[in-house]
């Protein structure tokens, strides 16, 4: 792969290290440097397309090379929404599946990664309504656990500062997210979720989240 002339022989070393294993055997450490540099100083869109299947596999295992925000920033730099239909569809479907998985996973590692993953996905989504639809159709107690943490941590930024916290902290998709979270439909569902799971350890956080959203409720 080609790289910036500013890096000289380092590019040769990076290539040698990256191609010493088959694609399916590369781990997050192997792909970290590439993910951080692709399309900026090392590697082309063709190279990104070559490695993206393995990078997404690792991302689904909470082992995103470098950081998930950087990964999706690189995809946006590569204009993935303009890729051939089958490639676009593959990433779009992955995003929806990933949203489902992180909201239905009750593991400790899911809880640790949820905020970064969820904010990244809704910020970079080219069709955030589709992701919201996935969330709305989930019936799982962990959905309420994860979303209550998200609401308690992010509500002020979203509703008052008009940003989604992340790598850039810009306002992309924030209006659609605000309208969703403040809708009577969502708040009513969240209230019902509290009563359905009031004996769970996380029920108090769900109650706090419901009260926060009620302040911003759309009538």
Tell me: do 118 and 13 sit in the same domain.
Answer: no
Domain span at 163: 85-219
Predicted local confidence at residue 191, as pLDDT:
87
What band does 219 get if pLDDT is binned at 50, 70 and 90?
A: very low
DSSP secondary structure, 148-209, as one string = HHHHHHHHHHHHTS----SSS---TTHHHHHHHHTSHHHHHHHHHHHHHTTTSTTHHHHHHH
Tell me: do 97 and 22 sit in the same domain.
Answer: no
Tell me: do 49 and 146 sit in the same domain.
Answer: no
Assign 129 to helix, strand or coil.
helix
Tell me: do 123 and 193 sit in the same domain.
Answer: yes
**Per the structure, how many domains does the chain have?**
2
Between 204 and 170, name the one with better pLDDT: 204
Cα 97 to Cα 103: distance, rounded to the nearest angstrom: 10
pLDDT tens per residue, range 54-95: 999 999 999 999 999 999 999 999 999 999 999 999 999 999
Tell me: do 3 and 94 sit in the same domain.
Answer: no
Predicted local confidence at residue 159, as pLDDT:
92
Q: What spatial distance separates the first Cα and last Cα of the chain, rounded to whole Å? A: 55
pTM assigned to the model: 0.91
Q: Which one of 47, 78, 109 terminates a domain? A: 78
Weakest mean pLDDT among 109-118, 174-183, 199-208 = 199-208
Cα 46 to Cα 87: distance, rounded to the nearest angstrom: 12
Cα 173 to Cα 166: distance, rounded to the nearest angstrom: 13
pLDDT tens per residue, range 166-198: 766 677 899 999 999 999 999 999 888 878 888
Tell me: do 97 and 185 sit in the same domain.
Answer: yes
């Amino acid at each position: 792969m080609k790289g910036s002339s500013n890096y000289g022989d380092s590019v040769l070393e990076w290539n040698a290290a990256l191609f010493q294993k088959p694609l399916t055997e590369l781990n997050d450490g192997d792909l970290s440097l590439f993910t951080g540099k692709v399309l900026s100083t090392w590697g082309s869109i063709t190279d990104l397309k070559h490695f993206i299947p393995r990078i997404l596999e690792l991302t689904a295992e909470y082992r995103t090379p470098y950081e998930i925000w950087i990964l999706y920033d690189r995809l946006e730099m590569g204009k993935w929404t303009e890729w051939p239909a089958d490639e676009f569809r593959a990433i779009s479907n992955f995003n929806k599946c990933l949203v489902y998985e992180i909201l239905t996973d009750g593991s400790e590692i899911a809880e640790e990664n949820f905020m970064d993953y969820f904010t990244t996905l809704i910020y970079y989504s080219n069709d955030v309504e589709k992701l919201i639809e996935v969330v709305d159709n989930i019936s799982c107690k962990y959905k309420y656990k994860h979303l209550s943490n998200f609401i308690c941590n992010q509500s002020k930024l979203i509703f008052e500062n008009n940003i989604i916290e992340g790598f850039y902290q810009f306002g992309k998709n924030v209006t659609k997210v605000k309208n969703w979270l403040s809708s009577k439909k969502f708040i009513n569902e969240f209230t019902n979720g509290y009563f359905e799971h009031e004996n769970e350890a996380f029920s108090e956080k769900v109650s706090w989240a419901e009260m926060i959203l009620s302040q911003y409720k759309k009538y």
